[in-house]
């Protein structure tokens, strides 16, 4: 697997406010990489630096293992913060300008393609300022898909969209991911990231708190709640074992937080083999939101 983006010791401050503090990240080809964090955590600043609109104070980054300037952005489709277009031009004319910058070979064909994907064909001659915010956001999506880029960088892509628009955007992201595209998605909507991302990094106040695959993160800290006939005996037995990170007995219920590599079925089998009769065995899986709140608190 080849590295698409490598960030080394990236830092950015605005006066005494630290926006990013010594950030290191590596994003591989084909990953759908979510950058999570509360407002002000440094998500947009990170994306702005890697896209060349903000200068970092320290650190480096490389796209495709090359030290590049912003001309490399032609092969990256990006939507940063909000759609930025000429208000007096039509949807089509704005896409023509983007096509010229990206040096697209067949602009007419390509514009027709992205207008169709973003469901804007009927609005191609509408003046940009007359569009609703949702339509503007869709135009931004159309623009970033121009030239079928290998990498998509999206900052809060569902902001301001109605539920139908959100579903459409998610579908576009999923389709692009299925086609092997690398996607970098910054969001504070955890459900969005959980639904579409393969990997995630969590930032808070410019610091990287955790990074890894979404599956590993969700698998971590699964809880098992057990109720049985001889609960105190079982509690004493389980306490001696190592397959849990913590164990607690409260109101005749045992709560185990499992080690990352332990399957709950192994515990069930162990209890059965030791002659206990279970009346309740619940596996409680934490959502990304639970993990996020735990990590960022």
Partner 1 sequence: MVKLYKIELKKLLTYSTFWVFISIITGLFLLFSFLMAIFEINFMFGGADYNNQFNFQNLLKFPHVYNTLSWVASWFNMLLTLLIIIMVTNEFSYRTYKQHVIDGLLRHELITAKLMVIVGISIIFSIIVWLASVVYGFIYSEPENYAQFFTNSYLIFVYFLQTIAYMSVGLFIAIAFRSVSLSIIIYFGYLIFEGIFALILRFTEMNIYKFLPAKIIRGLTPTPDIDVVMNTKQIAESLENAGDITLWQHSLIALLYSVIFIALSYYITNKRNL
Assess 53 for contact with partner 1 (CB under 8 A).
Answer: yes
* Contacts for 43 with CB less than 8 Å, ≥ 6 apart: 35, 36, 37, 155, 186, 187, 188, 203
In the complex, what is the shortest distance from the CB of residue 72 to partner 1, in angstroms, rounded to a whole number? 7
Residues 142-161 that bind partner 1 (CB under 8 A): 143
Choose among 1, 55, 8, 57: nearest CA to 28.
1
Choose which of 41, 44, 46, 48 interacts with partner 1 (CB under 8 A): 48
**Alpha-carbon span 128 to 91, nearest angstrom:** 6
**Alpha-carbon span 149 to 68, nearest angstrom:** 17
8 A C-beta contact, residue 241 and residue 270: yes
Assess 73 for contact with partner 1 (CB under 8 A).
Answer: yes
Q: Residue 52's Cα: distance from chain center in Å?
A: 21
The span of 25-33, 49-57, 243-251, 265-273 binding partner 1 (CB under 8 A) equals 49-57
Please calculate the CA angle 72-142-164 and round it to the nearest 5 degrees: 135
The answer to whether the Cα torsion of 55, 58, 60, 61 is positive or negative is negative
Choose which of 33, 61, 85, 292 interacts with partner 1 (CB under 8 A): 85
Site string for partner 1, 101-120 (x = CB under 8 A): xxx-----------------
Choose which of 57, 60, 97, 259 interacts with partner 1 (CB under 8 A): 97
In the complex, what is the shortest distance from the CB of residue 21 to partner 1, in angstroms, rounded to a whole number? 18
The span of 20-28, 33-41, 82-90, 231-239 binding partner 1 (CB under 8 A) equals 82-90
- Binding stretches for partner 1 (CB under 8 A): 48, 51-55, 69-76, 78, 80, 82, 84-89, 93, 96-98, 100-103, 143
């Amino acid at each position: 697997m080849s590295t698409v983006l490598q960030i080394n010791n990236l830092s950015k401050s605005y006066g005494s406010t630290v926006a990013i503090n010594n950030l290191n990240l590596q994003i591989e080809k084909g990953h759908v990489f979510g950058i999570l964090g509360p407002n002000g955590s440094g998500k947009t600043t990170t994306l702005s630096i890697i896209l060349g609109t903000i200068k970092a104070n320290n650190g480096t980054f490389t796209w495709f293992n090359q030290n590049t300037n912003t001309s490399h952005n032609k092969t990256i489709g990006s939507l940063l913060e909000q759609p930025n277009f000429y208000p007096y031009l039509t949807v089509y004319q704005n896409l023509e300008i983007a096509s010229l910058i990206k040096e697209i070979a067949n602009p007419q064909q390509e514009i027709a393609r992205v207008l169709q994907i973003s469901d804007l064909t009927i609005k191609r001659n509408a003046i940009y300022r007359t569009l609703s915010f949702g339509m503007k956001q869709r135009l931004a999506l159309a623009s970033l898909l121009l030239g079928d880029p290998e990498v998509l960088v999206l900052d809060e892509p569902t902001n301001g969209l109605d539920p139908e628009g959100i579903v459409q955007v998610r579908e576009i992201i999923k389709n692009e991911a299925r086609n092997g595209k690398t996607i970098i998605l910054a969001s504070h909507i955890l459900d969005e990231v959980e639904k579409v991302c393969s990997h995630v990094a969590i930032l808070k106040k410019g610091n990287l708190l955790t990074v890894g695959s979404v599956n590993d993160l969700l698998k971590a800290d699964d809880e098992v709640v057990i109720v049985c006939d001889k609960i105190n005996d079982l509690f004493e037995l389980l306490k001696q074992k190592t397959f849990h990170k913590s164990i607690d007995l409260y109101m005749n219920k045992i709560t185990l937080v499992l080690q990352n590599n332990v399957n709950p079925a192994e515990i069930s089998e162990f209890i059965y083999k030791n002659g206990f009769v279970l009346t309740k065995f619940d596996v409680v899986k934490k959502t990304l939101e639970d993990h996020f709140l735990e990590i960022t608190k």
